[in-house]
Structure 1
Amino acid sequence: MQTADIQRRWLDFFGQRGHTVVPSASLVSDDPTLLFTVAGMVPFIPYLTGLVPPPVPRATSVQKCIRTLDIDEVGKTTRHGTFFQMNGNFSFGDYFKEQAIAYAWELLTTPERDGGLGFDEKDLWVTVYEDDDEAAGFWKKIAGLPDERIQRMGKADNYWHTGQSGPAGPCSEIYVDRGPAYGPDGGPAVDDTRYIEIWNLVFMQYLIDDVTSKTDFRIVSELPRKNIDTGMGMERVAFLKQGVENFYEIDQVRPVLDRAAELSGRRYGANHDDDVRMRVIADHVRSSLMLMSDGVTPSNEGRGYILRRLMRRTVRAMRLLGVEDPTFTELFPASRDAMKASYPEVETEFDRISRLAIGEEEAFLRTLASGTNILDLAVAKTKSDGAEQLPGDTAFLLHDTFGFPIDLTLEMADEAGLSVDRDAFDKLMADQRARAKADAKARKTTLADLSVYSAFRAQGETVFTGYEYLQTESSVLGLIVGGESVSRAVTGDIAEVILAETSLYAESGGQESDAGSIVGAGFDLEVLDVQRPVKGLISHKVQVRAGEVGVGDAATSVVDPAWRQAATQAHSATHLIHAALRQTLGPDAHQAGSYNKAGYMRLDFNWNKPLSPETRTEIEEIANNAVHENLEVVTRIMPLDEARQLGAMALFGEKYGQTVRVVDIGGPWSRELCAGTHVSRSAEVGLINLISESSIGSSNRRVESLVGLDAFRDLATERTIVSQLTSTMKTPREQLPERIADLMASLKAAEKKIAQFESAALSGRVPSITETATRLGENTVVLENIGEIASADDIRSLAIAVRERLGSDAAVVALAGSVSGKPAIIVATNAAARANGVKAGALAKLAAGILGGGGGGKDDLAQGGGSNAAAIPAAIDAVRSALVR
């Protein structure tokens, strides 16, 4: 049974039983505390917790998920994969335990020919929470399971909660017995390798508080509306139904593994270490493909960093299999072909995905080359120091800064006859993880604060009127101060205001929130920010400028008209620039993010090389021509599928409902899904001034523009500067570039002559300095304060020249001088002096300490510096004393 068939059977089964079939949400989670969607129930959390009223009584989905906490275990066990699919059925206060158990048993045991999954009843075992007699009773009644196949487990295994105060409840897990070849008899309580968990039914029936751990909490009461949240592991069911050993061998994963084996010339199943590497490749390529299909691009932070790490681990694993050439052109198509039956978007978006993957691989192969050079130097230094172990901080630097995998460092160090201080490396990694967990915990704490919005959201969605009006009369539904719901806010308070209707735009889709105010009888509130803390609710962060505002008061939201006009200009300009980019560079130049506010816009797009000045000019000209043509801007509300059929561009990573807003500028010339505010005709944008273009990653670029009056003011400033230059240089404007180039050439020639004169003058000082040489013990020494000098490099040149002039007899040169008021000293020794035990680094360090600074270097040449130029004579005396000893 193919994985796509399991998906179809699941959705058909629950869809036919009154469940609304919900498409998989993006891997990019709406939850601000999560980087990714980590479980099938994540998109339904607002409904399960009661934060947002559920739109339907029951639902079902096959949800894409990503988890990377155990990334280092991938490939080593059959349980760890970074991408997986969770089949779920959900009831929001509708059916409960009995019906959930009945549905699960029916789907699992109905023969395949009748649309079920066809598991043999005798192979199914279940666990229930130790005190849940009700669930155990239903399993006996519905499935006829004997007591020995209904095992009772404690809170650690069979109780679900979020880790915070809120909904919770017991759960019941369903296992499949794989047979005696996989382990001892006795059910999942004895062995969970032989008995594989495939489905977990969560019975969300209690409200809990005082949560200190997985097993330590207080049940407050029963929930008034009990919910069902279930999750069946798609990959686990697939490998059981396909008769393979683990999920790496199922139809959606195995083709990549096989391609990796072919490219490496190694056979899967012949060597454990190679098998692990092939599994890592198969898992990570699939995860990377799915992440990029949902709009994630490789970067050095957040989601992009996780994606980059997956891709780099893939390259590393191929290298350890003996393949050093690029392989993504082979591996990603194999994954696309395996996944497209379930997720057609991986095929329609594959050109973009492939280009990102290939660019990332090429960049990392260059990084590997750089890291290899750094590692070679570290190995050489370790050996020269007589050590046998590469320092842990060096391995960590390679890993953390250069993306050099520790396994590769270990392998290459071993080839050089060295080990790696793994304990030190692991400690640095543990410290980094601790910092990351602390950050995640801080983010998670914020989630609890969202519960304050539930009462307001229960009153309905906030109506946004700002597309048509700049002012809207409404009423205050709620006030929040310091995270707590309050009845009143007074002058000076910073508060959140929830209105029934608002004309103020909440930050979204790259557009900054509106500036404005909220006013009413006896109060004036300055709007600081406008956000959507939960779906369907708009919250206004305000400062009470005057008076006192209370819940239930009449209030009018007022948008700053100048701000809104400039903001709409900037957002429409973003669409024009995007269209101009695609017209100039082609459809691969796809928007990867944007930000706009009054007078300014920036747009990130997929591209892997800088734009030439000519291309930048062309893009700017196309966008401004669209402004000049005064194109009509039309907004329409329509079903998402219809919008896509019309060719409306969607921003990858953005969330869209089943009904969307389409913004056309000049009809199909620019057609995008967008909830932002826009001008009514393109001429209202005024002017677009493209001020910069830069790299934000190996496969992404960024353009920035000023818009409207801000664009004009910037150009006016440039005009003033040009006018000043033409006046100062007495040169016509059109001849300025040539005139400035001539001046630069003349300046460089003059600097070159000056450098030659300074070098000659410097060389001329060598004889007189050499004549000051004296004999101290076994060494001829020159110890001189040469006064004010241009740079420490000049002192170094003099010291080396004097050392050479003294010949092969033991010689030590220490020259000090003042560079821009700060002291510097250079110490040089020849081979004979070093044979006498004189070390330049030690002498420079000694002198620098007296100068109020630090220094050191090699035995033959070293330097020091400080802050007290008056101490130069004392520093030279200290060097003399050290040589006498």
Structure 2
Amino acid sequence: MQTAEIQRRWLNFFEQRGHTVVPSASLVSDDPSLMFTVAGMVPFVPYLSGLVPAPYDRATSVQKCIRTNDIEEVGKTPRHGTFFQMCGNFSFGDYFKEGAIKFAWELLTTSEADGGLGFSPDDLWVTVYEEDDEAFALWQQHSSLPDERIQRLGKDTNYWSTGQPGPAGPCSEIFFDLGPEYGIDGGPATDDDRYVEIWNLVFMQYQIADVKSKLDFTIVGDLPKQNIDTGMGLERVAFIKQGVNNMYEIDQVRPVLDRAAELAGKTYGAAIEDDVRLRVIADHVRSGLMLIGDGVTPSNEGRGYILRRLLRRVTLSMRLLGVNGPSFAELFPVSRDAMQAAYPEVAENFDFISRVAYAEEKTFLRTLASGIQILDSAIEAAVSASQPGKAGSTGASVDGDTAFLLHDTHGFPVELTLEIAEEAGVSVDREVFATLMQEQRDRAKADAKAKKGQRADLAVYKELRGLGETAFVGYDSLVHESKVLGIVVDGAPAQEAREGEIAELVLAETALFAESGGQDSDNGVIVGDGFEAEVLDVQKPVPGLIVHTVKVTVGSIGVDARAETRVDADYRRGATQAHSATHIVHAALRDVLGPNAHQAGSYNKAGYMRLDFTHSEALSAATKSEIEEISNLAIRSNYAVVTREMALDDAKAMGAMALFGEKYGERVRVVDIGGEWSRELCAGTHVATAAEVGMINLVSESSVGSTNRRVESLVGLEAFQSFAAERLIVQQLAGGLRVPRSEVVSRVEDLSAQLRAAEKKIAALEAAKLAERVPELFAGAERAGSVALVSADLGTVGSPDDLRGLVTQLRDKFGSEPGVVLLAGTVAEGKPVVIAATTAAARELGVKAGDLAKRGAQVLGGGGGGKPDLAQGGGTDPSQIPAALAEMRRTIEA
């Protein structure tokens, strides 16, 4: 049974039993505490917790999920995958334990011919919470399982909670028995891999408090509504139904594995180590495909970092299988073909997905090439340091600092460091590397904990959201009277906010726009009888609830008070100009660069807009000028701006663009500028006609990743003011240079050329002056161990290049003799520099310039290194130059 067919049967089964079919949410979670959607129930948390009233009594979904906390286990076990699909059925105060158990048993054991999944009852086991007599009895009543195959287990496995005060309850898990050849008898209680958990039924029935851990809490009462949250692992059911050994061999994953094996000339099943790598490739390619399809792009932080790590693990695994060149163009199309039956959008968006993935692979292959050069130098130094007779020699080893630097700074995988070092007969100090990695993880955890601590507890909004959805009326009016429904002070509900306090206000309706869709929140005030408050921020902490953060400037505000929201009209005008300008620039980008230039993020506020878009190359000056011109021509043409509300499907059918990272309900607003020229789904505020934008001044274009670019623009009056300021600068330059404005550029170029010529002449004179010191310095050579040594602090020098030229001249004077030159000085801004050079004879004695420069630079408070014949180091403390030269000499004599 194909995976897509299992998905279809699941949804049909529950739809026929009164469940609303809810499409999979994006892998990018709405929950601010989560990077990704990590479980099927995540999109339903506001309903299950009672934070938001559920729009249906029962629902079902097949949810895309990403988890990377067990990434090191991928490929090693039958069921660890970073991307997986969770089939779920949910009840919000409707049916409870009996309904959930009856549905599960019916779907699993109904024959395939009758629309079920066709499992034999003889292969199934069930676990329940040890104190849940009700669930045990219901399984006895509604299944054909003997009592011994309904096992009671403890709280650690069969009790669900979030680990925080709130809803909790026992759960019941369903397992498939793979058979005696896979492990021992005894059922799931043995915790043996023979028993595969395929379905978990969570019975949310209690409210818990005094939570010390997931196992230590106090049940304080029943929930007002008992809820059901279940999850069946689609990949787990698929590998059982398809008769394969693990999730990597199912129809949605195996084709990528086979293509990778073909490219590498490997046979799957022939070697355990190769098999693990092939499974990692198959899993991560699919995860990358789905993440990019949901708008995630590679970066060095957050979700983008996780995606980058997954893609780079694919490249690394291919390399370890012997494929050193690009492979994504072979692998991603195979994954697309395997997934499109369940997710047609991966085929529709494949041009974008492939460009992002291929660009990341190209970048990483360059990183690998440069990292290998650094590692080769480190291996050469390690081999040299381990030569017989060398003081302190204990065998060739690359230090852990170097391995960590390669990993952390250059993105060079430690697995590859170990492999290359092993091939060269050199070890790696893994203990130091592991210590540095742990320190990095500890810092990251501390940072994450600090950030988490800054977030408000969303539970405080639960009762407020229960009063209804906040109505935004600001599209049509900038002033609106409403009622204060709730007040939050210092994170807790309050009846009053007093003068001078910072508080959060929830009103029944508001004219103030809450930050969303890239548009910053409105400025304004909230006033009423005897009070006034300055609006600091407006946000939507949970769907449907608008919260105003205010500073009470006059009087006090109480719950139930009448309050008038007043939008700052000038700020709103600037914000609408900037938001409409974002749409205009986006359309102009697509005109110039083609339809693949998708918006990948935006931010706009009064007078300013920023737009990120998918493109891998910098824009030329001519291209930027063309985009700016098209944008301003749209303004001059005074395109009509038309906003309509309609069903999401209707909006997509008429070609409205749904932007990556945005979440849309069943009803959406469509904004047209110039008809089809710019047609996007957007809930922001906009001008009535394009001419109201005034002017667009494209001020910058930059990179925000290997596949994303960013343009920034000033809008309206701010754009004019910028042009006026630049005009004044040109006027001042023309006056100072005594040339017409039209000749300013050529005159500046002439002066620049004259300056460069003068600097070149000065540098030549300084170099010649330094060269005159060669005889004097060489005459002062001393013995240092078994080599002749020239060592000197030259004071202030023009540049490191001047110093390097002098060093090589002195080294050449040693001829075939073992000689070393150590020169130091200060360059621009007083930065100290040391340069070391060695003759071939000195290197044969084990004296390497790279080692010397590194030791000297450490004394100077910096770093350095280089080749054995010539190397450079630098630092921050020029007063330590004598000590650095002395340390380098001691290294030679050691």
- Candidates 471, 477, 485, aligned match of 2:479: 471
Structure 2 counterpart of 1:629: 637
Is the Cα–Cα contact under 8 Å of residues 184 and 191 in structure 1 kept in the other structure? no
Q: CA separation in 2, counterparts of 1:779 and 1:175?
A: 75
**1:181 to partner: Cα distance:** 2.0
- Candidates 660, 665, 670, aligned match of 1:657: 665
Is the Cα–Cα contact under 8 Å of residues 841 and 855 in structure 1 kept in the other structure? no
Is the Cα–Cα contact under 8 Å of residues 164 and 448 in structure 1 kept in the other structure? no
Structure 2 counterpart of 1:721: 729
Between 483-492 and 126-135, report the one with greater CA deviation. Answer: 483-492
Alignment of 1:87-486 (within 5 A): 87-386=87-386, 387-442=395-450, 449-486=457-494
Counterpart residue type for residue 528 of structure 2: G
Between 142-151 and 643-652, report the one with greater CA deviation. Answer: 142-151
Q: CA separation in 2, counterparts of 1:842 and 1:337?
A: 53
Alignment of 1:589-738 (within 5 A): 589-738=597-746
Alignment of 1:507-526 (within 5 A): 507-526=515-534
Q: 1:553 to 1:732 in 2, by over 3 A?
A: same
C-alpha distance after superposition, 1:49-70 (max 9, x if no partner): 1111111111111111110001
Q: CA separation in 2, counterparts of 1:776 and 1:87?
A: 75
Pair 1:574-2:567 in alignment: no
Q: 1:748 to 1:791 in 2, by over 3 A?
A: closer
Structure 2 counterpart of 1:491: 499
Counterpart residue type for residue 731 of structure 1: V
CA RMSD of aligned residues (A): 3.4
Q: 1:146 to 1:446 in 2, by over 3 A?
A: farther
Counterpart residue type for residue 603 of structure 2: Y
Structure 1 counterpart of 2:392: none
**1:378 to partner: Cα distance:** 1.5
Q: CA separation in 2, counterparts of 1:220 and 1:719?
A: 71
C-alpha distance after superposition, 1:508-553 (max 9, x if no partner): 1111111111111222211111110001001111111222111111
Counterpart residue type for residue 131 of structure 1: E
**1:390 to partner: Cα distance:** 2.0
Secondary structure of 1:189's counterpart equals helix
Q: 1:418 to 1:629 in 2, by over 3 A?
A: same
Q: CA separation in 1, counterparts of 2:650 and 2:265?
A: 48
Between 155-164 and 291-300, report the one with greater CA deviation. Answer: 291-300
Counterpart residue type for residue 147 of structure 2: D
Is the Cα–Cα contact under 8 Å of residues 297 and 304 in structure 2 kept in the other structure? yes
Pair 1:527-2:535 in alignment: yes
Counterpart residue type for residue 162 of structure 1: T
Q: 1:102 to 1:878 in 2, by over 3 A?
A: closer
Is the Cα–Cα contact under 8 Å of residues 64 and 86 in structure 2 kept in the other structure? yes
Between 207-216 and 801-810, report the one with greater CA deviation. Answer: 801-810
Provide structure 2 residue ranges, at least 5 long, that are not aligned to the other structure.
387-394
Query: What count of residue pairs does the alignment treat as equivalent?
Result: 883
Is the Cα–Cα contact under 8 Å of residues 129 and 152 in structure 2 kept in the other structure? yes
Q: 1:267 to 1:796 in 2, by over 3 A?
A: closer
Q: 1:518 to 1:852 in 2, by over 3 A?
A: same
Counterpart residue type for residue 706 of structure 1: L
**1:168 to partner: Cα distance:** 0.3
**1:177 to partner: Cα distance:** 1.9
**1:750 to partner: Cα distance:** 2.1
Please report the TM-score for the alignment, with normalisation by the length of structure 2: 0.92
**1:364 to partner: Cα distance:** 1.2
Q: CA separation in 2, counterparts of 1:51 and 1:39?
A: 18
Q: CA separation in 2, counterparts of 1:93 and 1:648?
A: 37
Is the Cα–Cα contact under 8 Å of residues 569 and 599 in structure 1 kept in the other structure? yes
C-alpha distance after superposition, 1:729-765 (max 9, x if no partner): 2222223222222222222222222222333333345
Secondary structure of 2:555's counterpart equals strand
Counterpart residue type for residue 729 of structure 1: L
Q: 1:807 to 1:111 in 2, by over 3 A?
A: closer
Is the Cα–Cα contact under 8 Å of residues 630 and 682 in structure 1 kept in the other structure? yes
Alignment of 1:847-862 (within 5 A): none
Counterpart residue type for residue 280 of structure 1: V
Is the Cα–Cα contact under 8 Å of residues 478 and 498 in structure 1 kept in the other structure? yes
Structure 2 counterpart of 1:756: 764
Q: 1:551 to 1:757 in 2, by over 3 A?
A: same
Q: CA separation in 1, counterparts of 2:421 and 2:373?
A: 13
Secondary structure of 1:697's counterpart equals coil
**1:424 to partner: Cα distance:** 2.5
Between 446-455 and 202-211, report the one with greater CA deviation. Answer: 446-455
Structure 2 counterpart of 1:74: 74
Q: CA separation in 2, counterparts of 1:855 and 1:319?
A: 31
Is the Cα–Cα contact under 8 Å of residues 800 and 828 in structure 1 kept in the other structure? no
Q: 1:785 to 1:235 in 2, by over 3 A?
A: closer
Q: 1:780 to 1:371 in 2, by over 3 A?
A: closer
Counterpart residue type for residue 583 of structure 1: D
Is the Cα–Cα contact under 8 Å of residues 814 and 828 in structure 1 kept in the other structure? yes
Pair 1:6-2:6 in alignment: yes
Structure 1 counterpart of 2:34: 34
Q: CA separation in 2, counterparts of 1:837 and 1:392?
A: 22
C-alpha distance after superposition, 1:115-171 (max 9, x if no partner): 111111222211100010000001111114221111000001100000111100000
Is the Cα–Cα contact under 8 Å of residues 110 and 118 in structure 1 kept in the other structure? yes
- Candidates 553, 568, 571, aligned match of 2:561: 553
Provide structure 1 residue ranges, at least 5 long, that are not aligned to the other structure.
none
Please report the TM-score for the alignment, with normalisation by the length of structure 1: 0.93
Q: CA separation in 1, counterparts of 2:889 and 2:378?
A: 35
Is the Cα–Cα contact under 8 Å of residues 28 and 37 in structure 2 kept in the other structure? yes
**1:321 to partner: Cα distance:** 1.5
**1:246 to partner: Cα distance:** 1.1
Q: 1:171 to 1:856 in 2, by over 3 A?
A: closer
**1:806 to partner: Cα distance:** 8.5
Q: CA separation in 2, counterparts of 1:875 and 1:423?
A: 29
**1:883 to partner: Cα distance:** 13
Is the Cα–Cα contact under 8 Å of residues 164 and 211 in structure 1 kept in the other structure? yes
Secondary structure of 2:438's counterpart equals helix
Is the Cα–Cα contact under 8 Å of residues 838 and 849 in structure 2 kept in the other structure? no
Is the Cα–Cα contact under 8 Å of residues 462 and 538 in structure 1 kept in the other structure? yes
**1:200 to partner: Cα distance:** 0.6
Secondary structure of 1:107's counterpart equals helix
**1:48 to partner: Cα distance:** 0.6
Secondary structure of 1:625's counterpart equals helix
Is the Cα–Cα contact under 8 Å of residues 109 and 116 in structure 1 kept in the other structure? yes
Q: CA separation in 1, counterparts of 2:824 and 2:586?
A: 60
Between 60-69 and 113-122, report the one with greater CA deviation. Answer: 113-122
Secondary structure of 2:77's counterpart equals coil
Q: 1:646 to 1:813 in 2, by over 3 A?
A: closer
Q: 1:208 to 1:377 in 2, by over 3 A?
A: same
Q: 1:492 to 1:806 in 2, by over 3 A?
A: same
Structure 1 counterpart of 2:550: 542
Is the Cα–Cα contact under 8 Å of residues 763 and 798 in structure 2 kept in the other structure? no
Between 185-194 and 78-87, report the one with greater CA deviation. Answer: 185-194
